[in-house]
């Protein structure tokens, strides 16, 4: 089970896992253990998703939101006590920037420039109108979330990876995952090509996408979850726009270089500093210097 973190490379790892001949991984996210899905779907229906994996040595799925959702660890432990969990952590300041653009793209927060919108989130101005905005900060408290899982699972059941290791040494990172899953680690997946789930940063491109979204997507009551419309018309519009966006708009409206305001960076560093130090101890890795330095992320990935 790949549980996150959101915007930290879980889709990339999932795609590499899906290429291995001994692994079956469900092609889309599975929110079964998360509210409200847990009460609405039975465990039998959940298990049916993995019928195509019969005979495989490892069967799995991903849901990055699980890492930060407090209701998930105990539920997972009760139904999948022997599951092997993969968690990926990214500099939480960079992850917050990437999450900000991701949530604009999903229609969960307004489309505004980074420094203005993210400052308003820190100041609590989105809390009532856009409750999903709280995730942008909350999802970066990795130590807090990991400790919650460690109350229900032994350390040997959880593999922790760093986003930097995946991007800089993908072959070594995927081999460690293969070894963790007890499958052949000499298999070499295709790692070249466009990085999946790249976040759109052009505000104009995001605004165009929002016009199309009304035809293809709907939301729950408090606008914290998105759902795809499955009408034939909606699917056709989604496919056509995806092709148009990738082929035309991505070239006409390239993502701009963005810079996080230094004062805003310092506020985020202060917010995450204690949790980062806790994660250092849990993982026995030095993170504070590279994650808290006064170095604004030049690009949101």
Q: State the CB neighbour count (10 A cutoff) for residue 230.
A: 8
The dihedral built from the CA positions of residue 169, 191, 196 and 11, taken in this order, carries a sign that is: negative
| 15 & 154 share domain | yes
Interhelix angle 114-122/92-105, nearest 10 degrees: 110
How many domains is the chain built from?
Answer: 2
Q: Model pTM?
A: 0.92
Q: Which helix (H) or strand (E) holds 175?
A: helix 170-180
| 161 & 242 share domain | no
pLDDT of residue 298: 47
| 177 & 231 share domain | no
pLDDT of residue 293: 82
| 129 & 177 share domain | yes
> What are the pLDDT digits (tens) for 131-181?
999 999 999 999 999 999 999 999 999 999 999 988 888 889 999 999 999
Q: What is the dihedral of CA 301, 104, 277, 288, to 10 degrees?
A: 30
| 235 & 104 share domain | no
| 72 & 25 share domain | yes
Q: What is the CATH number of the domain that holds 186?
A: 3.40.50.300
| 226 & 88 share domain | no
Q: Which helix (H) or strand (E) holds 141?
A: none
| 210 & 118 share domain | no
| 76 & 160 share domain | yes
> What are the pLDDT digits (tens) for 212-231?
998 999 999 888 989 899 89
Our measurement of the distance from residue 172's CA atom to the centroid of its chain's CA atoms, rounded to an integer in Å, reads 21
| CA R_g for the chain | 19
User: How far, CA to CA in Å, does 106 sit from each of 2, 141, 152?
Assistant: 21, 22, 32
> What are the pLDDT digits (tens) for 242-262?
999 999 999 999 999 888 999
Q: What are phi and psi of 139, to 5 degrees?
A: -70, -10
| Residue 75: Cβ-neighbour burial (10 angstroms; 0-12, 13-18, 19+) | middle
Q: Which helix (H) or strand (E) holds 248?
A: none
Domain enclosing residue 217, as ranges = 202-254
| 282 & 150 share domain | yes
| 82 & 182 share domain | yes
Q: Residue 27: pLDDT above 80?
A: yes
| 44 & 12 share domain | yes
């Amino acid at each position: 089970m790949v549980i996150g973190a959101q915007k930290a490379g879980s889709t990339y790892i999932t795609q590499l896992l899906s290429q291995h001949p001994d692994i079956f991984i469900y092609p889309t996210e599975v929110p079964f253990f998360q509210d409200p899905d847990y009460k609405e779907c039975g465990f039998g229906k959940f298990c049916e998703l993995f019928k195509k994996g019969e005979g495989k040595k490892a069967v799995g799925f991903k849901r990055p939101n699980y890492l930060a959702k407090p209701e998930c660890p105990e539920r997972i432990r009760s139904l999948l006590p022997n599951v092997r969990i993969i968690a990926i952590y990214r500099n939480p300041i960079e992850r917050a920037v990437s999450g900000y653009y991701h949530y604009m793209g999903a229609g969960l927060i307004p489309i505004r420039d980074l420094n203005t919108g993210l400052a308003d989130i820190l100041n609590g101005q989105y809390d009532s109108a856009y409750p999903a905005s709280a995730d942008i900060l909350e999802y970066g408290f990795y130590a807090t979330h990991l400790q919650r899982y460690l109350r229900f699972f032994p350390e040997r059941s959880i593999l922790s990876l760093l986003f930097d290791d995946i991007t800089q040494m993908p072959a070594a990172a995927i081999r460690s995952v293969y070894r963790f899953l007890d499958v052949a680690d000499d298999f070499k997946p295709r790692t070249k090509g466009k990085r999946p789930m790249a976040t759109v940063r052009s505000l104009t491109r995001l605004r165009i996408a929002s016009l199309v979204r009304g035809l293809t997507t709907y939301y729950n009551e408090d606008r914290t979850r998105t759902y795809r419309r499955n009408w034939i018309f909606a699917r056709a519009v989604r496919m056509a726009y995806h092709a148009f966006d990738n082929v035309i708009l991505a070239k006409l409206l390239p993502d701009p270089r963005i810079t996080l305001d230094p004062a805003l960076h310092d506020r985020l560093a202060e917010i995450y500093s204690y949790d980062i130090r806790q994660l250092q101890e849990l993982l026995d890795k030095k993170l504070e210097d590279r994650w808290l330095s006064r170095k604004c992320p030049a690009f949101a990935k």
